[in-house]
Amino acid sequence: MIHLTIDNKPIEVAEGRTLLEACREHGIHIPTLCYHPALEPYGGCRLCVVEVSMGGRKPRLVASCVYPCEEGAVVQTQSETVVRSRRITAELILAGSYHTPEILALGEELGVKEVRFKLDEENACVLCGLCVRACNEIVGVSAISVIQRGIAKKVATPFEVKSSRCIGCGTCVLICPTVAFRFESVAGFQYVSPKESAYHLGYYRLGGELDLRPNFVQDIAGLLSHEPRAAGEPGKQVGDSYDR
């Protein structure tokens, strides 16, 4: 067992727990956005930060969802530094999602008074990565990923066209904290698509048979049978030849 102090209370936890898990076990509330118990912790939203001090050294902020419980650690979950940090982090998330109800509620909970900076484009997606991580780790299909870098990051399928791997399970829709996906049923088909996108992620024919054959073999056969094309010419889109 590991012994540490959280908010001046002595706490005992099993080995291998993170600070967040220890807090939740003991009823201490820590706000999170990108954390899900069924997935590997990501450490991306930085809302779950707490202050940790080891051996009397200066405390520093760490993400509790990934930081392990260490013997003798002194943890503060509501210090001024922590509260301030979470507030600014929430304000920064609001910078890109200033009309999204779930994020507005988060901002209010964490004391955001004013959103002083706004990004040019608004998006319900806060890049928590839950959809991508679920698709990779749980569903195992890896139909989507986070593309590009920095402020231009977004969740998309390869080449931003209909996925040849998506099985329409809807996990991404369900796990998304801000409902940034659309899930609609039209004429016997269930469509999944990112809210702001112009394409469908994938679809599943309700009541039909799920064809789980790897699509790659069909796609590449199709591509290889074509004449070599000049660079830059739009070729066949991935998944075009695929029909469920």
Q: How far is the CB of 188 from another protein (least distance, A)?
A: 28
Structure token pair of residue 15? 């080995």
Structure token pair of residue 198? 């112009």
What distance in Å separates the CA atoms of residue 239 and residue 163, rounded to the nearest whole number?
A: 6
With binding defined as CB under 8 A, does residue 232 bind another protein?
Answer: yes
Q: Are 97 and 123 in contact (CB under 8 A)?
A: yes
With binding defined as CB under 8 A, does residue 147 bind another protein?
Answer: yes
Size of the site for another protein (CB under 8 A): 57
Within 33-62, the residues that bind another protein by CB under 8 A are 41-47, 49, 60-61
Neighbours of 112 (CB within 10 A): 21
With binding defined as CB under 8 A, does residue 111 bind another protein?
Answer: no
**SS3 state at 102:** helix
Please report how many Cα atoms fall inside a 13 Å half-sphere around the Cα of residue 119, on the Cβ side.
16
Neighbours of 52 (CB within 10 A): 21
Neighbours of 39 (CB within 10 A): 17
Comparing CB distances to another protein, the nearer of 74 and 146 is 146
Of 6-14, 140-148, 175-183, 190-198, which part binds another protein (CB under 8 A)?
Answer: 140-148
Contact code string over 153-192 relative to another protein, x by CB under 8 A: x---xxx-----x---------------------------
Comparing CB distances to another protein, the nearer of 198 and 231 is 231
Angstrom CA distances, 145 to 124, 131, 142, stand at 17, 9, 7
With binding defined as CB under 8 A, does residue 88 bind another protein?
Answer: yes
Of 2-10, 24-32, 91-99, 102-110, which part binds another protein (CB under 8 A)?
Answer: 91-99
**SS3 state at 106:** helix
Given the DSSP bridges, would you call strands 49-53 and 9-13 parallel, antiparallel or unpaired? unpaired
Of 99-107, 183-191, 197-205, 223-231, which part binds another protein (CB under 8 A)?
Answer: 223-231
**SS3 state at 231:** coil
With binding defined as CB under 8 A, does residue 92 bind another protein?
Answer: yes
Structure token pair of residue 6? 């959280």
**Residue 106 neighbours by CB under 8 Å, 6+ apart:** 31, 33, 47, 90, 93
Among 54, 139, 146, 179, binds another protein (CB under 8 A): 146
- Which residues of the shown chain bind another protein in the complex (CB under 8 A)? 41-47, 49, 60-61, 63, 66-68, 81, 84-85, 88-89, 92-93, 95-96, 116-117, 119, 127, 129, 136, 142-153, 157-159, 165, 216, 219-220, 223-224, 228-232, 235, 238
